[in-house]
Amino acid sequence: MSETILSDDQIASVMRGMNLPVQPQIMVDLQMEQVMPDPDLNEIARLISRDVAISGRVLKAVNSPFFGLRNTITSIQKAVILLGINSVINIVNAIAVRHELSQRTDLTEQEIDDMNRFWDTAQEVALVCTAIAKQIGFQSPDEAYTLGLFHNAGIPLLREKFSNYHEVLVESYNGKEKRVVDAENNLINTNHAVVGFYIAKSWRLSSNICEAIQQHHNIIELFGQSNNQGSDILNLLSILKMAEHIVGNHKIIGENDTDIEWNESRDVIFHYLGINEEDFEEISVICQDMGI
């Protein structure tokens, strides 16, 4: 896998100027239970139920079309049993992290709107990643969800550190540079993929997720390496890029009507997955039927 072009000194300098968000305690508690030899479903349901707001949002999420449940679920315990521990924990993580990173009291109304739009988009990308993973037979839809949720987690921190970061992002998506992150590297000496990698690493997310976050704007180079066939990381990145395009991430994050990155990487992704434009259109329609 290709390494970031930033030096260790540059990375250390930038990261010293930031406070990585602390993993919300409910995420820590759930992860500790998750890695037990025999996770206790009742304990996981109890942890979730401690927060009324999180419980309500979990039930709303599990009853969405993306999970395809026939009957409405009204019990956290039933949700855990039917969806599985990993899926429920991912939903809780999405809610907890959004809450944790949105608790600043000095945000303007515009910044609050931007933050809400950012997390709404992350949630949609995560859900579409799950749907795509199931459609193409990827064995770890939970990992696809996690990547969709956290792949841009560096953006809120960089918004906080750099007053001009909104303009930097728009510049990044205008296609003048080879990669989206190149404009960020030139203008602020770091990028959201690097910062997101360190967030994921500090939260002890899987190595696949951490690497995919770091590399998610390095598609052409990665997919051009012939020894990467069957790579879980490339599978995850294929799913992510399709999900970003379906959701319209380029419009929301980059304020660009044209998805330049997708147009440049689509063919190598299709070739890697063994699909064509018609297959992708079918995937898109299924996701749209689910509410996107």
pLDDT tens per residue, range 260-288: 999 999 999 999 999 999 999 999 999 88
Q: Are residues 95 and 135 in the same domain?
A: no
Task: Print the domain residue range for 121.
Answer: 108-292
Q: Which residues contact 75 (CB under 8 A, 6 or more apart)?
A: none
How far is residue 105's CA from residue 50's CA, in Å, rounded to a whole number?
Answer: 25
Task: Supply the pLDDT for residue 105.
Answer: 56
* Mean predicted lDDT score pLDDT of the chain: 82
For residue 23, is pLDDT > 70?
no
Last residue of a domain, which of 101, 125, 145?
101
In a domain, 282, yes or no: yes
How far is residue 87's CA from residue 12's CA, in Å, rounded to a whole number?
Answer: 34
**Domain count of the chain?**
2
pTM of the model: 0.77
Q: Are residues 192 and 257 in the same domain?
A: yes
How far is residue 54's CA from residue 292's CA, in Å, rounded to a whole number?
Answer: 23
Last residue of a domain, which of 54, 79, 101?
101
214: confidence class by pLDDT, cuts 50, 70, 90: very high
Least confident of 31-35, 62-66, 97-101, 245-249: 97-101
